[in-house]
Structure 1
């Protein structure tokens, strides 16, 4: 029995790059960087702290200038990516991005630390994000109460986090949001859109991680993975005034992001009002997190800041 247990602990049952699961049940996330601690960031003048809220937690970011600001700040509820199986609010690239975003707007940012699959299969992450948004809107946190303008609440996220932002905005009881920023959203579907691969095996591979994270799903045309699927909630019900979608030329998900932006535009009458699509040439998935100082990352960053600060 002991030898079998040892073998199971070294034999891989599931491998997705972001997460590896052994037959023993041991879970390893090979690319997890050392966590970034909260606290004052001297480069941006933004302070951050973690708040534990039961099943989930949140990291709040507040520019120190907010203490003397005449007006309250917009609030950005941010959901990190990682396929719902990896990353956290302490991931250094995301932590740096939110320090910079909170300073540049300026804004009060709330990054959601949701539960990860496979230990906590979906919909756990969705549930945590909904609970976090409701917590922010309640004004229960002293930073939010003192400095946040709850009439200007945005949801934003990258990859799986952008998928979760759609889920937040489509909730039947969702409060009216000022806007949603979906960066390289992780959507998929059984039928190809745009110039996506038509190869059946490649399309099936595109859904493997989704089915692993959400084993109770009906497949890649589950409305949570494919908002354009037949029977998905109508996009005219998105609970936000404005929507920004970012795509990247080297990202295989770019056609899905473009199709989403076009569908939201059509649902709003087809004139493009309140919908912004930013397509970046020559870059790949979440390039802005790994190359924040490149010109195209700076351009995307500036466009997001302008979207948040627009009247």
Structure 2
């Protein structure tokens, strides 16, 4: 049997996450959260830029485009699948600009050879569910109707994945349920698959 000492149990999740729950049901977030800005630097293997989803809600998404897709040598201008990604962290912290999620999406776009759209949705408790699910559907509507060149020129809208990590997996799942009811409204965007990385669900007893 290993003699390794186990870490002490987490007694105060607010202290662990470095957030303070205020009397008005908002959070003061002190968690260290390095951010990465979008870049069109062609020395990078993946180009990135941000698109506004809803200005009043301050929601947006970050597009990741493999640079190889823009090369003249890209035979027949091959269209790429689209992965719509929702970040994790319990619905309450971090964002699509958080370096850990930015790097994950950039690596995924390059390795899988796909365009990735990482959604920055509203956080709880200031914006309680289903706000994040609403933001997910607004993101899909934006992608469907946008005239942004990265979407119109490089994306195969018939091959779209919804993907999320932890809380983001839950968002992707609920977005998938809503898509079933609104498939015609999202054409030509077709959601073909869900990729749920450690989603979590709960219900009232």
What TM-score, normalized by structure 1, do the two folds share?
0.53
Is structure 2 residue 173 aligned with structure 1 residue 166? yes
Cα distance in 2 for partners of 1:43, 1:88 equals 25
Q: Partner of 1:184 in structure 2? A: 198
Cα distance in 1 for partners of 2:197, 2:43 equals 24
Q: Is contact 2:53-2:142 (8 Å) kept? A: no
> Helix, strand or coil for the counterpart of 1:34?
coil
Cα distance in 2 for partners of 1:118, 1:100 equals 31
Cα distance in 2 for partners of 1:183, 1:43 equals 31
Q: Partner of 2:47 in structure 1? A: 47
Change (3 A) 1:16 1:184: farther
Cα distance in 1 for partners of 2:128, 2:41 equals 34
Radius of gyration: which is bigger?
Answer: 1
Identify which of 97, 100, 104 aligns with 1:93.
Answer: 100
> Helix, strand or coil for the counterpart of 2:141?
helix
Q: 1:156: how far off?
A: 0.4
Cα distance in 2 for partners of 1:16, 1:188 equals 23
| Higher relative contact order, structure no. (Cα contacts within 8 Å, ≥ 6 residues apart) | 2
Moved segments of 4+, more than 4 Å:
40-44
Cα distance in 2 for partners of 1:187, 1:177 equals 22
Q: 1:111: how far off?
A: 0.4
- Superposed CA RMSD in Å reads 2.2
Cα distance in 1 for partners of 2:197, 2:15 equals 21
> Helix, strand or coil for the counterpart of 1:170?
helix
Cα distance in 2 for partners of 1:90, 1:72 equals 26
What TM-score, normalized by structure 2, do the two folds share?
0.78
* CA distances 1:112-132 after superposition (whole Å, capped 9, x unpaired): 010111221111111101110
Equivalent residues in 2 for 1:1-311 (5 A)? 15=14, 17-18=16-17, 19-23=19-23, 27-40=27-40, 45-54=45-54, 55=57, 56-68=59-71, 69=74, 70-171=77-178, 172-174=181-183, 175=186, 176-189=190-203, 219=204
> Helix, strand or coil for the counterpart of 1:162?
helix
Q: Which 10-residue stretch deviates more, 88-97 or 27-36?
A: 27-36
Give structure 2 stretches of 5+ with no counterpart. Answer: 1-12
